[in-house]
Every structure is written in structure tokens, then in C-alpha cells.
With several copies, the nearest count.
Chain A
Amino acid sequence: MNDLDDLYREIILDHYKNPRNQGVLEGPTVHAEEGFNPLCGDEVKVYVQVEDGVVHDIKITGQGCSISRSSASLMSQAVKGQSLDEVKATVSRFKRMIAVEETEDEPEPVDLRVIGELAALQGVVKFPVRIKCATLAWNTLMLALDEESHSV
């Protein structure tokens, strides 16, 4: 395992053991959604509070493997404070980084400087089975935001 892998492993383990933005949100501007990984029964619940088109706050609860929990934690960091358009761009960048099963083509190269710490999850591409772990929180976030856009 080379140094970069080690670094990534450290980031993942750090976020797994100390997940950021844990907890629940309440209030009229909060949207919550539950996600569920059919592979292993893992669950995640994402709460987002959107104000003026910006993700004002985000919290996460649930249980899962290191990939799914660290991915949720890294996601919460990445999108907090972003506008809805920025969130969409982040989600799409993240998915392109790891999407390999869903499309016929090789994953598009992604600028790792733009994606920041999220790059730690790039290694998942090599393990298609675990892509579902990595995307669980992200898909759940998108559902929560969909709901939010419908409710406006």
C-alpha cells in the first residue's frame, strides 16, 4: 500500500470514528430522508435545513460500514454552506469520481484538487460492490433536497 492510500485510509478512518455533523435537526425548514443499503441492511438518515437556497445545516444519523459512514461525514462537510446548485455540482463530481458500474464508459477524470478530502473515497472505484456504500448518503441527500424543492 503506498503513501497516498495510507493517507486516504487515515481520512476514512478518521471520519468513520469521528463522524462530523452527527445528530438530528428539527424545525419547519428541515427536510429529512431515510436511505437503506439493500446489500447489508445499513441505514442512514439525512436532515437538511435549506435557507435562501443554501444548505444552512445538515445532520446525519445511522449505522454503517467505514465507507458509508465516512462518505456521509465527508459529504456533510462538503455541502454545508453550499448553494443548491453547488450541491448538485458536488454530488455530480463525486458520482463521476466513483461511478463505474452505472455507465458503460470509464469514469471521467475528476480534478482531485476541486474535490478535496472527498478524494479519499476514490479508491472505491476498484470495489464496485462498495459503491452502494459510498453513495448511500448522497442519494439520500438528493431525495431530501428533491422533497425540499417540491415543497417550495
Chain B
Amino acid sequence: MAGVEITEQLSELRKDFPIFADIEATRPFYYLDSAASSQRPAVVIDTMNRYYRHSHANVHRGVYGLAEEATGIYEAARRHLGRFIGASDPVHEIVFTKNATEALNLVVQGLGRVLLTADSHVLLTEMEHHANLVPWMILQEQLGFTIEYLPFDAEGLLVLDDLDARLERASILGVTLMSNVLGTLNPVAMLSERAHAHGVVVVGDGAQFVPHFATDVRELGVDCLAITGHKMLAPTGIGALWAKAEILEQMLPFLGGGEMISDVRLDGFTAGEIPHKFEAGTPPIAEAAGWDAALDYLEMVGMDAISRHDRQLTTYAMRQMRERLDDRIKIFGPQDVTKRGGVLSFELADVHPHDVAQVLDQHGVCVRAGHHCAKPLMRELGVGATARASFYLYNDEHDVDALVDALLDAYQLFHG
């Protein structure tokens, strides 16, 4: 089977991730929680070490060679990330943040305060992560606009019947490229086109999508995109907002402080140029170096190979779950694997997700259980929590087999 071949080929890469050998030396370890955070290849860890051991100084303004070196490393990461997602102006269009959540808060406050008034409408979806809901709600408390939500159907697909009518009212559309619970891949290129026809600005949440699919912001048509490093082999503590230069230009500054100004007087300040205008204080420099190395690694593997691998594993997992657990398991989200990424939320009959995760952990299988920071979505599904398994390039069929074995054991334990 071609699928298994490719999967095996990719999972060769597993040895590049030291955590697997280190943990497996003492206990079984099946890491199926990459949608929460991925593991890191040695090259990312080593790059950060090298940075701290050879090149660390604060960036910008420093005239001495070491500071120039650190600045060069940091700015090179910016350009690399810009190229990685197809930005037309990588030097100016990437703002580094601490995570995707800060990136979304930045665009909500920076752009929202410019575009929105009490009469405005913001269109979101019912499958958004809290990171693309709560910032809008905070701004709403300050400005008083209306938020509307696109619902989703039983398959976990957005219902777009009255899309144009809603876009007609809206100033901004906020939508996730891929749901972190349902795995749903949203038709973002089409949504952006329709949104632009109504003059609506599109804010994409790329936290789940960008780590798993070749991303070209020009093809997607979004105007802004939030990204996070730790889900794509990079360190914790770094994320980014990409936005078209003309959007960044009109956005108000958000965090105030050093680096983001052109002048400060006692009676006011003048903001600096993009993207620095949005990067107040000492940035995550070592983390940017690590992200740069992670991008190299992902490019070396190939994003299309990763997407194929995810899909094959998802297909295999859905089949195994159905075959071996039949009606004892319910898988949420699209049943058609071409409409979803490698994230599987499920319910094991009459076993609480916390208990599922705890029993699985006894088998060394790591899955997440909870509301996955998507409470409105959970309410819509009619559950309080789900268990969720998610795949990345270092996973293979053994992980899936261990998952299904452990699920059978959990079922047994609670029904035996």
C-alpha cells in the first residue's frame, strides 16, 4: 500500500526528535497531541543553544558586532517566515508576537479600533478557538458592535446559505483555516473572495493549518493571518501576525514601549515603521532563531509530504477506530478525509473524556481531553468535552494501533 510506504518513510524522521528516544527508553510513548503543541527536532534545540552560546545580545540599535549578529538572526527569521507563507513583502509584513493568541488580539485591537463602530458587524464562526472569539468580545465591550456567527452542520462544515447577506452587513470576517476540534478545513479562498466583494477584511486563524499544509496567503486571499511557532516544531514563546502592508499601516499600535516608536516626548509619541511599530520591548530572539530552523526542517521534509502523511494516518485511524470499536465510538467532524486535517475528536460510549485520556495515558498514549478552548463549539456539539488525537510528521501506524488498543481497554474497564 502506497500510503503505508510514505508514512514509513516520513516516520524515519522520528529519530530527529530526541524526546521520542529519551522517553521510550523508560516507558511507552505515543504522542498524539500535536494539535496542542508539537515536539521539536534536535536541529531546532541546537540552533537555540548555538544562539545563546555564540550570538546573544539584544537586537536593534546595538552598534557592536554581536548586536548586529543577533539582529541579523532575528530579521532573517522574519524574512524566512514571510517567504514560508507566501507574503509579498516579508520584511514588512511579519510581526512577531508571543503566540497566535497575541497575534489575534493585536489585529482585533489594532484594526478593530480603526474599522469598527457601535453600528458595525463582525462575522465569526461557531467553530472558532477562544483566541478568535474572546478578543472580539473584549473589544465589543469597549466599542459596542455586533458579532454574528456562521453555524456549522452535522458534518462540521460551515453553513453558508446566507453568507452574502451577512457579509453585506459585516466589516470584518474572522475565520479559522482549520478547526482544532473538528479538523474541518474551511473554504477560505472562496470566503475571502466573497468577503472582498463586500469590502470585508478577512482575519484568518492559521494556528492549526500552517503547520500542516503548504500556505500561500495570496492564494488564500486572507488579509491577516495568525500563526504560532510551538505547533510547527518551533520553540514556545513565539508566534506571528502576517498582514498585508497596507493593513499594518492603518492599524493602531497595540503594545507600547521600546522599539516600536520613532519618537517619544513628554506630551506624546510617534509610532515607528511597520513591522517594528507592533513589536514593543525585547522580542523572542532565540525563539525566532529556533523557528527559522524549524522552517528549514519543514521545507526539507516538504509541506505537501506532511499533508499527505497526515491524511493517510487520519484515514487509517478512522478506519481502525470504526472497525475495532464500531458503534462504541463516535468521531466528530467531516467523515470525508479530504475535508479535514489530522485532528480527530471522538466520544467513547459512556466513558468520560477525562477517563479516556487517563486510561490512555497508562498505555503511554497522549491525547487531549476537554473543551479544547472552543466552548461554543462544544455546546453546539452537545457535549461538555471530547477526547482528541492529532497527528504530525513523526507519527505512524504504531501510534494509531496503540491508540485503538488503549481505547478498547478503556471501554473494557468502564463497561466490564
Question: In the complex, is A directly touching B at CB under 8 Å?
Answer: yes
Residues of A at the B interface (CB closer than 8 Å) are 1, 13, 16-17, 38-42, 64-67, 101-104, 126-130, 133
Contacts of A103 in B (CB 8 A): 91
**B307 proximal to A (CB < 8 A):** no
Q: Which residues of A contact B369 (CB under 8 A)?
A: 40
Rounded to whole Å, the gap between the CB of B109 and the closest CB of chain A is: 24
User: Which residues does chain B contribute within 8 Å of A1, judged by CB atoms?
Assistant: 362
Q: List 18 A-B contacts (CB under 8 A).
A: A13-B414, A39-B370, A40-B369, A40-B370, A41-B378, A41-B383, A41-B384, A41-B385, A42-B385, A102-B91, A104-B83, A126-B68, A128-B71, A128-B72, A129-B61, A129-B71, A130-B63, A133-B354
B231 within 8 A of A: no
- Which of B63, B72, B353, B375 has the most chain A CB within a 10 Å cutoff? B63
Contact A127 B352 (CB under 8 A): no
Q: Smallest CB-CB separation from B385: which chain A residue? A: A40
Kindly list 13 other residue pairs between chains A and B, CB separation below 8 angstroms, not including A42-B384, A128-B71: A38-B262, A38-B272, A39-B371, A41-B384, A41-B385, A64-B352, A65-B355, A66-B354, A67-B354, A127-B68, A127-B358, A129-B62, A130-B354
- The count of A-to-B residue pairs whose CB atoms sit within 8 angstroms is 68
Whether B90 lies near A104 (C-beta < 8 A) is yes
Give the residues in chain B near A41, CB-CB below 8 Å. 371, 375, 378, 383-385
A123 smallest CB distance to B (angstroms): 10
Q: Is the CB of A129 within 8 A of B63?
A: yes
Residue of A41, A101, A102, A130 with most partner-chain B CB within 10 A: A41
- Residues of B participating in the A interface, judged by any CB pair closer than 8 Å: 60-63, 67-68, 71-72, 75, 79, 83, 90-91, 261-263, 272, 352-355, 358, 362, 369-371, 375, 378, 383-385, 413-414
- Minimum CB–CB distance for B332 against chain A, Å: 15
* Min distance, Cβ B396 to any Cβ of chain A, angstroms: 28
CB proximity of B83 to chain A, nearest CB, Å: 8
Nearest A residue to B82, CB-CB: A104
A26 to chain B, nearest CB (A): 27
Contacts of B378 in A (CB 8 A): 41
Partner of A129, one of B68, B79, B353, B413: B68
Who on chain B is nearest to A66 by CB?
A: B355
A17 contact set on B, CB distance < 8 A: 414
Known contacts A128-B71, A129-B68, A39 near B61 by CB under 8 Å: yes
The interface residues of chain B, by DSSP majority, are classed as helix
A128 touches B354 (CB 8 A): no
CA distance A66 to B357 in the complex (A): 12
Residues of B within 8 A of A16 (CB): 414
B409 shortest CB reach to chain A, Å: 13
CA A127 – CA B272 in complex, angstroms? 20
Chain A residues positioned under 8 Å from B370 (CB to CB): 39-40
Q: Is the CB of A40 within 8 A of B384?
A: yes
Q: Which residues of B contact A104 (CB under 8 A)?
A: 79, 83, 90-91
Which 10 pairs, one residue from A and one from B, show the smallest C-beta to C-beta distance? A41-B384, A65-B352, A65-B354, A40-B385, A38-B262, A66-B355, A40-B384, A65-B355, A40-B370, A104-B79
Chain A residues near B72 (CB, 8 Å)? 128
Could you say which residues of chain A place their CB within 8 Å of the CB of B263?
A: 38
Residue of B nearest to A69 (CB): B352
What is the minimal beta-carbon distance from A135 to any residue of chain B, in angstroms? 14
Residue of B nearest to A38 (CB): B262
Distance in angstroms from A104 CB to nearest chain B CB is 6
A107 to B60, CA, bound (A): 20
B358: which A residues are within 8 A, CB to CB? 127, 130
Q: How near does chain B come to A30, taking the closest CB pair, in angstroms? A: 27
Closest to B273 in A: A38
The answer to whether B355 touches A40 (Cβ under 8 A) is: no
- Residues of chain A lying within 8 A (CB to CB) of residue B355: 65-67
Closest CB of chain B to A71's CB: distance in Å? Answer: 12
The minimal Cβ–Cβ distance linking A63 to chain B, given in whole angstroms, is 8
In the docked arrangement, what's the CA distance between A101 and B75, Å?
Answer: 9
Give the residue name and chain of the A residue nearest to B68 (CB).
Answer: A127
Cα(A101)–Cα(B79), bound, Å: 11
Please give the distance in Å from B351's CB to the nearest CB on chain A: 9
Contact A127 B63 (CB under 8 A): yes
Partner of B353, one of A38, A40, A102, A126: A40
Q: Output the nearest chain A residue to B91 by Cβ-Cβ distance.
A: A104
- Which residues of the partner chain B approach A102 to less than 8 Å between Cβ atoms? 91
Chain A residues, Cβ within 8 Å of B63: 127, 129-130
Docked CA distance A91–B362 (Å): 29
Residues of B within 8 A of A64 (CB): 352
Q: Looking at A13, A16, A129, A133, which has the most chain B CB atoms within 10 Å of its CB?
A: A129
Given A40-B384, A103-B91, A104-B91: A128 and B414 interface contact (C-beta under 8 Å): no
